[in-house]
Chains A and B, each alone.
Chain A
Amino acid sequence: MVKNKSFLNRAGFFLLVMAIVLFSIFPFIQMLSTSLKYQWDWGNPSLIPTQINLEAYKELLNIGQGEVELHESVQNLIDETPDITKAQKKAIIAKFRDTSSVFPFFRYFGNSLILATIAALLSVSIAILGAYSFSRMQYKGRSTIQRGVLFVYMFGGMLLLIPLYKMFVSLGFLSTKTGTFTSLIVIYLVQTLPVSLYMLGNYFRTISFSIEEAAMIEGAGRFETIWKIIVPLSASAIVTVFVYSFMIAWNEYLYASVFLRGFERLHTLPIGLQTLYYSKNAIWDRIMAASMLTAVPVIVLFMSIQKNLAGGMSAGGVKE
């Protein structure tokens, strides 16, 4: 009887864990599955593709896309119509070989990468100095600043979007490419700065002051202490904060969608994907492949800092 009950318990627990895992990863399996299916296979509820289709990935990653094969009927039409000139022939062939409608995955990827990297680097650098200041030094106004940083969590993106947009338009930033890019970097910087300040501040407090004291008695200045002692000792926390800031910028859609309106070449991955979805039909395989390629770098980055994650988050600095 007792044995029976514990068996039921264990089976129930096993089912619960299975359900949780399935709920969590089902959309990812669906994504992978659809990205590998042919169009005729989409309606098939089975997650295993009847036949593997790698075309979507090839197209996005520009593999074997150099020469677009002319469709036979087009070739026939050209060959069998004697009264068109050579120039006309060329124009027709060029039109069918046009690849500009292909999703420029690498450009969007590059834009996102540059934006997120610069914003995260700036955010971490400024935050190291700031966090050192309010975790290690004594001065008037320190606690006000610390609390003020927390208060920033209350404000949603929408409250700041309209005034920031108006400000940057008035300053003339949004009429040039460089200006637009700069304004987005600055905005991502300020969105990630409070998180970085808070997480790093909490980490710095856990480093024993005696090491620093020893260095200062040896004659090292504050900056030298920060650079030679604090930074190496908190390398893992700094990497964690960098990845966190990077992800916030990498995933950002709202500001990018408004600020990058004028410059299609500057579009980031989220904007590009959303545009792709609404501009064409029957593109599930390409959308899913692009989704996979957008998600993978972030997931890899995140898994690499997973160990530090729980601690860093419960230490207080979190933003979604």
Chain B
Amino acid sequence: MNLAGILNQNNLNRQQRESVLGWALILPAVLIILSLILYPIIYNIYLSFFDVNLEGGNTYIGLDNYSNVVFDSVFWNSVYTTILYVLFTTIGTTLLGLIVALAMNKEFPLRGLVRSLILLPYVAPVISVVFAWKFIFDPVNGIFMDITYEKLGMFSERFNMIGTPEYAVWVAILFSIWKGFPFAYLMILSRLQAIDATLYEAAEIDGANRWEKFKSITFPEVYFVVGAIVLLRIIWNFNKFEDIYLLTRNVKVLAVYTYFKAFTGYMEMGQGASLAVIQFLLLIGFILFYVKRVLKW
């Protein structure tokens, strides 16, 4: 039989078949995502207008959940903490990632080993590294108090850094930078390696110094990837829960505050749902501000 003939004969059919098969293959994934991500989000918005009762019916209470949340000063505190956290962790991870990427782009002995070692913070499970961090800042045994109090005399007494909310947030920020910088570094490094080396040679011939080379060659080349990293980091850290909650329960960013509201004490799930909606809206606002004002896309 003639192959071309068969293909011609079934031409229309084949396209339809392809379409059906294409949908059939993607369908399981689409169904799972629709039922376990899209539907719950809509359901969450629905729940935010109700007094939620786990055992039985929900009572419609209009905007009461929202007003209860918004007129609570604790809420505004956690908005402030969240913005502080997102701002400093984003700047910190990106800057450190950039510096490390620039350093790792140079040749030096044992570079392979060093590159592997600095991935460890990113790789290790949060739950296993938080305890080491707690220990470092432990008031009795920790090395931080040993250096700052015993050796440098910076504080008048040993105290619990992680137990004091105004200091704990900075420990959480440092922890997040430590955990997140390898990601930024990897992304920036792979971009750096793609830069054409002749550009630098040409600049050197023109007598450009190191800073000028960075400003007019390196930076424009990595600008896009840095912008993308910052965007991802804002999204991730705005929603961050585990890295903060497991390290300290004293830093009440929005996600931690919602968790306490919805799953401890009175288990105010309706208020929790409205908090989650507010948090999502704030994130959208934050992203729009970043994309329009900072990136100017």
Contact = CB atoms under 8 A, between A and B. Distances in A.
Interface in B115-152: 116-121, 123-129, 131-133, 135-136, 140-141, 143, 146-147
A192 B255 CA distance: 20
B30 to A, nearest CB: 6
A77 B280 CA distance: 64
Contacts of A187: 36
Q: How large is the interface on A (under 10, 10 to 19, 20 to 34, 35 or more residues)?
A: 35 or more
B45 to A, nearest CB: 9
Interface string B17-50: 0110111011011101100110111011001000
Interface stretch (B72-80, B161-169, B200-208, B271-279): B271-279
A164 B41 CA distance: 9
A163 B25 contact: no
B114 to A, nearest CB: 6
A157 B103 contact: no
A82 interface: no
Contact of A154 (B124, B133, B283): B283
Contacts of B103: 13, 16-17, 20
B236 interface: yes
Contacts of B245: 253
A88 to B, nearest CB: 40
Contacts of B246: 253, 270, 274
Interface stretch (B83-91, B213-221, B257-265, B288-296): B257-265
Nearest to B187: A314
A291 B131 CA distance: 8
A167 B36 CA distance: 10
Contacts of B126: 251, 253, 270
B186 interface: yes
A183 B236 CA distance: 24
Interface of B: 3, 15, 18-19, 21-23, 25-26, 28-30, 32-33, 36-37, 39-41, 43-44, 47, 52, 54, 99-100, 103, 106, 108, 114, 116-121, 123-129, 131-133, 135-136, 140-141, 143, 146-147, 178, 180, 182-183, 186-187, 189-191, 232, 235-236, 238-242, 245-246, 254-255, 258-259, 262-263, 269, 272-273, 276-277, 279-280, 283
Interface of A: 13-14, 16-17, 20-21, 23-28, 30-31, 34, 42-43, 45, 126-127, 129-130, 132-134, 137-142, 145, 148-149, 152-167, 169, 186-187, 189-190, 193-194, 197, 217, 222, 247, 250-251, 253-254, 258, 269-270, 273-274, 277, 284, 287-288, 290-292, 294-295, 298-299, 302-303, 306, 309-311, 313-314, 318, 320
